[in-house]
Amino acid sequence: MTPPERSALIALLEDPCENVFAHVSKEIERMGVDALPLLRTALLESGHGEIFEERAGQIVVDLETTNVRSKMGAWVRGEDHRLVDALAWLSVFARPDLPEDQLREDLEELRRDIWLELNDDLTALEVVRVFNRIFFEHHGFSGHRGGAVQASFAVPSQVVATRKGNSLALGSLYLAMAQELNLPIHGVNLPNHFILAYCDDEQVLFYINPFNAGGVIHPDEVDEFLSHLDLPVDQQTCGPCSVVDVVRRVISFLGYAFDQQGVQAKGERFRDLLEHVEMCSIVDQVN
């Protein structure tokens, strides 16, 4: 199908005849994600009626959902759990108007800036100090404090654009860069907070608090830190978690955040995605 034919097909969404709509929607479904740019452009154009906007808008939602479910399912079942990919897909799912390519370019620039300052002679603590200087001072990331729960401080692309995020968003971006640089840093899935652990084999050398400009928490200080959160000091609470666990938490929080903002339809989409990811995780463990 040529580009003019595709545009003409999408224009037929305006036709009030249900039989025409059924045929057109099937053809657009066959086009898959290739139809998304055309549909989004058409929705931005003036002159379309309510029928077109409702139909095109729903098809966009359906295609986006199918696309991200397919990508996330393959990601969970695969072996290369690259966090940058998952965060990019979730960003587009939350904010389709923010280009995925821009997020990837920004993160690559951040990775490169950190990499240029690292060398093999640095100790673990020195590595983190360099990382923190580039991440928080040079690139200006900081924690958002107070106020109502907002998805904007959790959607990766928005956090990168504004340099403001909650502990989970900052921690997942920090972790994504550490993964790209092959640093032994892992997520620690504390309830109501998210920190990182710098590990040597199975042993935690120290913890990193991304919400506090990457502040280092030594293991002998972690009980005091956790006492403020009313949490026990044990392996389940303090031990490293998988990258898939981190992504599940990001999806869950985004669903909650959109609900809190009154955007229930988007919150429901993230809850459905979370269920899909969890089912894929179970199947992967069984296999």
pLDDT in tens, 244-276: 999 999 999 999 999 999 999 999 999 999 999
pLDDT digits (tens, 9 = 90+) for 17-35: 899 999 999 999 888 888 8
* pLDDT for res 229: 59
pLDDT band at 234 (very low <50, low <70, confident <90, very high): low
Question: Above 90 in pLDDT, residue 177?
Answer: yes
Q: Taking residues 139-149, what's their average pLDDT?
A: 88
* pLDDT for res 231: 57
* pLDDT for res 236: 55
* pLDDT for res 147: 74
CB atoms within 10 A of CB 270: 24
Question: Above 90 in pLDDT, residue 48?
Answer: no
User: Coil, strand, or helix at residue 140?
Assistant: coil
pTM: 0.89
Give bridge partners of residue 115 from the DSSP assignment: none
Q: Which helix (H) or strand (E) holds 60?
A: helix 50-77
**CA 229 – CA 44 distance, rounded (Å):** 46
* pLDDT for res 259: 95
**CA 193 – CA 203 distance, rounded (Å):** 21
User: What does the domain layout of the chain look like in residue ranges?
Assistant: 3-77, 83-286
**Residue 233 near residue 226, CB atoms below 8 Å:** yes
Please give the share of the chain, as a percent, with pLDDT higher than 70: 93
Q: Which residues, 6+ apart, have CB-to-CB distance to 41 below 8 Å?
A: none
Arithmetic mean of pLDDT over the chain: 90
What phi and psi values does residue 250 have, to the nearest 5 degrees?
Answer: -60, -45
